[in-house]
């Protein structure tokens, strides 16, 4: 078993049907939002880098979408960095 650290970043805008829209100031609703997380990936559980990337992108998109689905975000961009030690890297 080999564990690698991967940092995933999602940048996105929210749609009008986003479940958390009521918590976002009206002046900020058109802003780009960003969320990042560190994943500790067991490489034995994934058969290739593309599978890891896909897993991380889907997970980040669910969080950005309010935890329910990915249909409430738009203009989505991802940054995935392998071999990080902390969220600041």
| Rounded CA separation 17/83 (Å) | 36
Give per-residue pLDDT as tens, 52-84: 999 999 999 999 999 988 999 999 999 999 988
Q: CB–CB of 36/30 below 8 Å?
A: no
Give per-residue pLDDT as tens, 15-46: 999 999 999 999 999 999 999 999 999 988 98
Residue 47: which residues within 8 A CB-CB, separation 6 or more?
Answer: none
For the four alpha carbons of 60, 64, 68 and 70, in that order, the dihedral sign comes to negative
């Amino acid at each position: 078993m080999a564990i690698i650290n991967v940092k995933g970043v999602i940048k996105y805008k929210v749609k009008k049907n986003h479940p958390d829209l009521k918590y976002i100031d009206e002046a900020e609703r058109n802003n780009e939002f960003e969320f990042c997380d560190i994943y500790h990936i067991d490489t034995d559980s994934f058969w290739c880098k593309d599978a890891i990337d896909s897993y991380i992108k889907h997970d980040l998109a669910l969080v950005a979408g309010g935890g329910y689905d990915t249909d409430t975000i738009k203009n989505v961009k991802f940054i995935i960095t392998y071999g990080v030690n902390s969220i600041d890297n």
